[in-house]
Amino acid sequence: MGNINSINISKLLFSGGCNYQPVHLLVAFLFLPLILQKMYLVKICFSFVQLFVTARWILADFGTYIIGGDEVDVAKHPYLVSLRYRHEAQEPYRHKCAGVIYSERIVITAAQCLVDLGHGDNIIVLAASNYRTGFDGILYPALKWFFHADYSSPSVDYDIGFIIIRSSFEFQKNQLSPVSIMSYRPGSGKIASVAGWGYREEFGPSSRYLKEVEVPIVSTTECTQSYGEGEITERMICAGLVNGGKDACQGDTGGPLIINNQLVGLVSWGRGCGRPGFPTVYAFVASLKDWLDDAIASVTEDVNKKLSIEVNSAFRNLREVLPLAEVNPQPITVTGEPSANSSEANSKVAIVTLFIGNGVDRNIKAISLAIVCKSKFS
């Protein structure tokens, strides 16, 4: 694998057949009339801009995607998703981070992937996709997202969050599956895998196709020696080769570190990508599982409360519409999901099924009503 650490600018500037040294050109430049000096300064500045763009392109063209990795079909990682966002409706969706399916409506990812998202941003989860761009997979719009209250960007500690999607993942139909969380810290040297669509080394561009790499777990002691005392907390775990060359990189953030099909960590931070002596640091999910489960349970309960409908009020409204109908006095069943197209920012629409007898043949019929539920959960 080729790698460029520096570019000899002198060689690039003076490789056109001239053997003049820079000092010769400087002396000649000083003897030029002022107007010619200005003209040549403009040309020189323009040349440096061209040089920078060319050098940047050259640098970006070296290396692999997930560093040292191989292309892999997403079917091997049926829990892996791409998180995409856009600020404005006319903008295209862009890959921001990776994530992991945890349950029917929950995706786990890194807190840093969510902390800077605005209330008006549009977020989608793309599952069963091999590609970083395009929409070859299955789209799931996000309803809401949360991250750990103790997350700190300087320390990148407590780097975990989750997204609630609007509709459930259909696991069997779409060949998706949730991931389970490993309950213990794996030992040093244990081989783990990480997959994603991250940058080529430290310069980009990102991988177009999903890639995977295997890396060994690095002990907290060794990792602390690399990054310094106090940098690696109990909520972090490290993985990577001593000599570098295989690693996750930007764009892989939030993606899973996996051992035996169990989630060990989420790509979080590191010094560069694939550098010798600096393993990648992952959020250690087992140490954050209690918060994750409690937060999901709390949010789910909150959603259910805010989407609940007063039965007597619904019956009264229904009798105004169908005064001859007999209304079966049974609890109303909320059978649908909140609508993504509600015109009010603080409203959600639930589909409610009422069972109604016609008063003549006593046949039971189902009527679905769209009822706007005021909610702060928006």
What are the tens digits of pLDDT across the range 294-346?
999 998 877 666 555 444 455 445 444 444 344 444 444 444 444 343 333 33
Q: Domains in the chain, ordered, with CATH?
A: 70-291 (2.40.10.10), 296-329+345-372 (no CATH)
Between 369 and 148, the higher pLDDT residue: 148
Instruction: Tabulate helix, strand, coil % of the chain (nearest 5).
Output: 25, 30, 45
Q: Which residues of 7-25 are buried (b: 16+ CB within 10 A; e: fewer)?
A: eeeeeeeeeeeeeeeeeee
Give 243's pLDDT tier (boundaries 50, 70, 90): confident
What does pTM read for this prediction? 0.64
Q: Which range is least confidently modeled, 19-28, 91-100, 261-270, 285-294?
A: 19-28
**At residue 73, does pLDDT exceed 50?**
yes
The total number of residues shown for the chain amounts to 378
Q: CB-side exposure of 301: number of CA atoms within 13 Å? A: 6
Residues ≥6 apart with Cβ < 8 Å to 347: 372, 373, 374, 375, 378
Give 246's pLDDT tier (boundaries 50, 70, 90): low
**At residue 173, does pLDDT exceed 80?**
yes
Q: Is the dihedral of CA 272, 273, 275, 279 positive or negative?
A: positive
